[in-house]
Structure 1
Amino acid sequence: MTNRDISEVFRAIGSLLQIRGDDAFRARIYDRAADIIEDFPHELAAAPTQPDTLRYDPKALEQLRATPGIGKAIQDKTVEILETGRCKFYNDLAEETGTGILEVLKLRGIGIKTASRFYHEFGVRSLEDFQALLDSGQLRGIKGIGRKTLRMIIESLAFHIEQKKQRPLWSVLPIVQQIVESLAQFVAEGWITREPEVTGDLRRHEETCRSIELIIECKDESVFQFENGTLTPPLQSLLEVLSQTQFGPAYLTTDSPETSENPGASITFKTDFGETRQIQYVYNVDTTTLIEKSQDALTGDGRDALPAIQFYIDQDFPVSIYLSSAATYESTLFLTTATAKHLAALTEAKPSGSETHFNATRNLTETEIYNRFGVPYIPPELRQDETSVAAAKDNALPNLVEFTDLRGDLHAHTDWSDGRHTLQDMVEAAKVEGLEYFAITDHSVSSTVANGLNQTRLLAQVAQVRELDAKTEGITVFAGSEVDIRRHGELDFPDEILAQLDVVVASVHSLFTLTEAEMTKRIICAIENPFVNIIGHPTGRMLGYRPMYALNIEEVIAAAAENNTVLEINASLSRLDLDSQFVRMAKSAGVLLSVNTDAHGIGQLGRRRFGLNVARRGWLTKAEVINTYTLAELREVCNIGMRP
């Protein structure tokens, strides 16, 4: 159970209370608690090394309780969630109102008051209900919903329906952690001989995932090779644990938590690598036995012969746990990381007369497997399609940027705006992270909801940053600002103020529904300002919530190249913006990129790793990511840190 899981519970409570018609002040208590817990610097759940009898960290909980905005009721519910995996208050509320209306609330153009109106006046309880309401034509003519808003809602609904087929990384990672924790006892017992490793979408570091795939290495192959559905004791123990564990925040996914299904398990096994059939068994939870479901011919690509445990989360999100031995571990990793397009391209690339059948990869490392196909090792992030295979054949693979190359973070917030920690706390945490430089870029005045700084407050903060930088050893602190780009491209601060900053990140935080031409012109205008160093989260997407705004990305990239303006890869798991395909377009145009955390608390500084993954998926090298630059290089190449 992560802090984000807990925050989602409280956020849902706040929304459901308002939809039900409760006092708005009461709902805001839960909204505020959700914000605090999501950004809390310490995980509230007990570490695996702590006693099993205590599922929360007492010290962390004590610190949380001391935080303004966290009362005893919130504390008690937090403990309840950590101890039981449930929240009775939420469950009772969900039973009364249902939770499908929360999906409607995610649609752009629908706020809490509108959702409440749909709920009470039209009986909307789910996206399906809302689709029916939309199809009926009853929304036309309703006060407050004009043609532009209606178009926005329709587009957002289509986006959310498409998103149901995949899940953003931020929602998948906690489930992966739960699965790994459920396997820990078998690692300790020794029949799983190494820590489980992600593969598939997760190992390629996709921003959104269509499934969860992991690999476990078993002590020997006898664990998962059997006849006629007779389970080995280790495998039976594993299946019992999986069948009895509820993965994911069940209290947020069903209207009746008590009726949510256990994973169950449809288990695909191949008992002998030399045979030509795939046997699928279904695990019977009641009898703890396997029942044969089907037998199918193998297709020959090697992947369908891999022993695997498969089940679904929330009935529609697949999980596969591949079972391997030491001899088959890397070949399994190879086969499950690459997409079908990538594997097909490798087959076409194989040297004439060579033996490169996928089943003939036993005891080989991934590097050796690629070498058999006549190409060098291809990093997991580049195994999406055939492009990297073609580059490998031409010896044109890039030397991808590494995490250890990153020297600094150029976009972070403090409690001067909407951050959770002080300037001093953020700088000290950046030092602990090993950063050589760190930029304070709090919001500007137009971001009123984020307590944005006006000119007077900004200059006062700049003075404090200069003072802190002078007395802090081991790190350089930049005075900057995340400046709002207004409707027509003008910035929140005049040039004479911007000239006093070390770094300026210009970002869009409002008016997301402008036309493509208007939004493109707006951002290019900011790019052309000589004091703007970086365009923050350039496309405005929020993974799982809203798509990028209408934007001619080709024109934006061309303008950035012409004006030597850096584009950001925002490492927030909610954003991961730019998308990796646009990163590669920027690379081709000669545009430099910056991997920044956009941290609003010290616990978020480590997420630059997720931004780095996007950079690698975009084929970036060290020289193309400015966070790898020295201070002198930043000044010379990017004009960052040059101002008095």
Structure 2
Amino acid sequence: MTPDVTIPTAVDKATVAQVLRDISLLLQLQGESGFRVRAYDMAADRVAGLPQELGPLVAEGRLESLPGIGPALAEKISELVTTGRLGYLEELRAQFPPGLLELTQLPDVGPKKVARLWRELQVSGIEELERACREGRVRQLSGFGAKSEAKMLEGIAVYRRARGERKLLGEVLPVATALLERVKSAPGVVRASLGGSVRRQAETVADVDIIASAPEAGPVLDALANAPGVAAVLGKGDSKCSVRLEAGDLQVDLRVLPDEDFATALHHFTGSKAHHIRLRNLGHERGLKISEWGVHRDDGTKVRVTEESDLYALLDMQYVPPELREDTGEFEAAREGRLPEDLLTLEDVQGAVHAHSTWSDGRNSLEEMARAAQALGLKYLTVTEHSEAAIYAGGLKVDDLKRQWEEIDRVNADVPGVRLLKGIEVDILESGALDYADSVLEQLEVVIGSIHVRHGMDEDQMTRRLLAALDNPCLQILGHPTGRLINSREPYPVRMDEVLARAAERGVAVEVNGKPARLDIKAEYVRQAVKRGVRLVVSCDAHQKEDLRNLAFAVATARRGWARKGDVLNTLPADRFVTALRERR
């Protein structure tokens, strides 16, 4: 949150957590003690990780029951939630130029550096910092140099690109993977990996980072610079090459280091920034300086770090998978040995949920979909066409649905090793009723209920609509529960805590939709669902055979939400999957 943004009157826990982090940053700019700073950071983590919103806790005066929330913090959180404003934050902001807090969002520019740039060079915003770097004034400060200026300019460019519309992970990952394979095949490469938000499997991506190790960087950098599809080489030095691709105006940065520095460089350039800052601070407490160039003790000796897991072991922590590195509670869990070690993997998934064929708005026949699933090693595929109300998508009348069952039986006989399950994606109507009569739905093996129209209902109306659907004993899976389309349609307003609570109570599974434009529900809600004991399915939302690969993105979202194999129903064999769906609590 930038300093000049007005806090909304409807304050959710994500906003409260961000405000607490902003206070922490402003206190650091003041030179405040580490104890007070950490108190706000810990409170932000606690708030962000809550399974419910803050309103009821505030109304009932129960904030102090949360670990790490004392009377003073509880009073500030209550003020923010109830009024939409926080006087203490406004007082802190008034002490600094409006653009100063934004500087802390730049890579490798922490509060201490920002305070010095402001006090010694009167730098109070991004543009002023860029000008100071280009004029060579930053290097004149003790502890800074020409390399510092170059890194800041690079960080400014990265930040500005990130503020533009980010690209879908599903669009970027295939391109990034192809370039990674080209780098891996370059002469001398020992190890190579994707980094950044792509490796963390974030739902949107600003650019691509590749980290490689090799005795000589030159041939590896040339492999990227000369790759097909490169529109321009933006820069090429001794250890780094940056290019812009023709497709999608995507920037790719490749860094090549000695293999002894690979693990720490990979960790550094994987991020997130918040995660890395926490890790470095923990290292500092133990007399360790952690950077992309390795781990050094206070006396200058270098600690051998061969794998990223070694880095966490030095801090007496469990290894934190890349998808979890967002500083949302993973440190506390890893230090206490509570981090899940059986996170869902793509190999765990036995069947693909949510697929359409030419019977409704899909592009491939049932047999083509079955054979594509077979080729991917899947054991079953749920055939879930649109229901009658979805006229725009070729929704099926009941007679058409029954005729489809006959074709499913024929395909199951002709395509060995994979089973098509008879299902439907039934529309949840405005009232919360399902589009087909119960007598029809009861004959199906899989019933997904989704909202496709009337997204403009208010929060109360939409919440009641979904709760009514969840009460229907025929509903087995709630499909793409917030209706969002990333970068093009906001999620409809709904009290997700109530929806997840009802899903847990009724035994309805919730879909983690892998369509790159949806990724619905998002990781934050996956984590809430897991905490509540809600059953999940990971789905491909396939409208053509190539979309079956969307399962990988659903798995990534589930992992980011800390979901284990046992939380996901379609890790079960087909018969047990169908039985589990029918077992309503």
| Alpha-carbon distance between aligned partners in 1 of 2:221 and 2:334, rounded to the nearest angstrom | 43
RMSD: 2.8
Alignment counterpart, residue 215 of structure 1, candidates 211, 216, 237: 211
Amino acid at match of 2:176: V
Cα deviation digits, residues 253-296 of structure 1 (max 9, x gap)? xxxxxxxxx53424576xxxxxxxxxxxxxxxxxxxxxxxxxxx
Whether 2:492 is the aligned partner of 1:549: answer: yes
Partner of 1:292: none
1:525-604 to 2 correspondences below 5 Å? 525-604=468-547
Q: Deviations over 1:406-462 (max 9, x none)?
A: 111221111111111111222222222222222111111121121110111011112
Asked whether 1:387 is paired with 2:320, we answer no
Cα distance in 1, alignment partners of residues 326 and 582 from structure 2: 36
Which residue identity lines up with residue 213 of structure 1 in the other structure? D
Give the match for residue 171 of structure 2. Answer: 171
Deviation per CA, 1:467-521: give whole Å up to 9, x if none: 5445654333211001111111122111111011111001111122221222222
Which of 230, 241, 263 matches 1:309? 241
Q: Which residue of structure 2 lines up, in the alignment, with residue 200 of structure 1?
A: 196
Asked if the contact 2:189/2:220 (under 8 Å) is kept, the reply is no
Alignment of 1:263 onto 2:232: yes
C-alpha deviation, 1:172, in angstroms? 2.3
Does the 8 A contact of 1:268 with 1:310 survive in 2? Answer: no
Aligned to 1:639: 582
Aligned counterpart for 2:317 among listed residues 375, 399, 409: 375
User: Partner of 2:354: helix, strand, or coil?
Assistant: coil
Residues 99-151 of structure 1 deviation map (CA, whole Å, 9 limit, x = unaligned): xxxxxxxxxxxxxxxxxxxxxxxxxxxxxxxxxxxxxxxxxxxxxxxxxxxxx
Which secondary structure state, in structure 1, belongs to the residue aligned with residue 201 of structure 2?
coil
User: Does 2:435 match 1:492?
Assistant: yes
Aligned mates of 2:188, 2:577 — CA distance in 1? 51
Match among 407, 423, 436 for residue 366 of structure 2: 423
In the alignment, the residues of structure 2 paired with residue 602 and residue 174 of structure 1 have an alpha-carbon distance, to the nearest angstrom, of 16
Instruction: Single out whichever of 197-206 and 348-357 deviates more from structure 2.
Output: 348-357
Q: Please, which runs of 5 or more residues in structure 1 have no aligned partner?
A: 1-160, 224-231, 248-261, 270-306
2:340 is the alignment partner of 1:340:
no
Contact 1:341 1:386 survives alignment (8 Å): no
CA contact (8 A) 2:360 2:393 kept: yes
CA distance in 1, matches of 2:249, 2:369: 40
2:290 pairs, out of 351, 357, 374, with 357
Distance 1:595 1:177, change over 3 A: same
Shift of 1:193: 4.3
**Corresponding residue for 2:43?**
none
- Matched residues in 2 for 1:628 and 1:237: separation? 43
Report if the CA contact (8 A) 2:536-2:567 is conserved: yes
Paired with 1:353 and 1:380, the residues of 2 have a C-alpha distance of 23
- C-alpha separation between the residues in 2 aligned to 1:354 and 1:417? 62
Q: Residues 353 and 381 of structure 2 are in contact (CA less than 8 Å); yes or no, is this contact kept in structure 1?
A: yes
CA distance in 2: counterparts of 1:387 and 1:638, whole angstroms: 31
* Aligned partner (choices 187, 191, 197) of residue 190 of structure 1: 187
Give the TM-score normalised by the residue count of structure 1.
0.59
Question: Counterpart of 2:403 in 1: which secondary structure?
Answer: helix
Which runs of 5 or more structure 2 residues have no equivalent in the other structure? 1-160, 296-302
Shift of 1:321: 1.5
- Give, in angstroms, the shift of residue 240 of structure 1: 5.4
Partner Cα distance (1:377, 1:408) in 2: 29
Paired with 1:313 and 1:603, the residues of 2 have a C-alpha distance of 24
Quote the Cα distance in structure 2 between the aligned partners of 1:179 and 1:340: 24
Q: Secondary structure at the match of 1:620?
A: coil
What is aligned with 2:402?
459
CA distance in 2, matches of 1:402, 1:313: 31
Structure 2: how far apart are the matches of 1:438 and 1:384? Answer: 33
Q: Per-residue deviation at 1:633?
A: 3.4
Shift of 1:586: 0.9
What is the distance in 2 between the residues matched to 1:633 and 1:510? 33
The alpha-carbon distance between structure 1 residues 612 and 264, as it changes in their structure 2 partners (threshold 3 A), is same
Q: Deviations over 1:84-104 (max 9, x none)?
A: xxxxxxxxxxxxxxxxxxxxx
Is the 1:351–1:374 Cα contact (8 Å) retained in structure 2?
A: no
Task: Supply the distance in 2 between the matched residues of 1:469 and 1:544 (Cα, whole angstroms).
Answer: 39
Determine the C-alpha separation between the residues in 2 that align with 1:395 and 1:537: 33
CA, structure 1 residues 199+237, in 2 after alignment: closer, same or farther (shift >3 Å)? closer
**How far apart in 2 are the matches of 1:623 and 1:609?**
17
SS at match of 2:429: coil
Q: What is the TM-score when the length of structure 2 is the normalising length?
A: 0.65
1:273 alignment counterpart: none
Instruction: Work out the CA distance in 2 between the residues paired with 1:606 and 1:391.
Output: 31
Q: What is the one-letter code of the residue matched to 1:485?
A: I
Counterpart Cα distance in 1 of 2:543 and 2:536? 21
Distance 1:400 1:236 in 2: 35
Letter of the structure 1 residue corresponding to residue 226 of structure 2: V
Cα distance in 1 between the residues matched to 2:547 and 2:462: 29
Within a 5 Å distance, the mapping from 1:611-622 to structure 2 comes to 611-622=554-565
**Does structure 1 retain, via aligned residues, the 8 Å contact 2:236–2:242?**
yes
Read off the aligned partner of 1:638 and give its amino acid letter: L
> 2:509 & 2:304 partners in 1: Cα distance?
45
> Are residues 636 and 351 of structure 1, via their aligned partners in 2, closer, same or farther at CA, if it must alter by over 3 Å?
farther
Confirm or deny: 8 A CA contact 1:541 1:549 kept in the other structure: yes
Aligned-pair distance for 1:609? 1.1
**Cα gap change, 1:624/1:187 in structure 2, threshold over 3 Å: closer, same or farther?**
closer
1:375 Cα deviation (Å)? 0.7
Find the aligned partners of 1:378 and 1:318 in 2 and give their Cα distance.
27
**C-alpha distance in 2 between matches for 1:267 and 1:362:** 29
Q: Is the 8 A contact 2:180 2:194 kept in 1?
A: no
599-608 or 411-420: bigger deviation: 599-608
Distance between the aligned counterparts of 2:313 and 2:361, measured in 1? 51
Please tell me the residue identity of whatever aligns with 1:557. Answer: L
- Change in CA separation of 1:405 and 1:452 when aligned onto 2, cut-off 3 Å: same
Match of 2:339 among 397, 402, 414: 397
Deviation at 1:607, TM superposition (A): 2.1
Counterpart Cα distance in 2 of 1:405 and 1:586 = 19
Question: Identity over the aligned pairs, expressed in percent?
Answer: 31
1:474 aligned partner, one-letter code:
G
Count of matched residue pairs: 413
SS at match of 1:213: strand
Q: Aligned residue for 2:226?
A: 241
Are the structure 2 counterparts of residues 353 and 560 from structure 1 closer, same or farther at C-alpha, using a change threshold of 3 Å? closer
Report the CA distance between 1:348 and its aligned residue. Answer: 4.2
1:164 Cα deviation after fit: 2.8
1:635: Cα distance to partner? 4.2
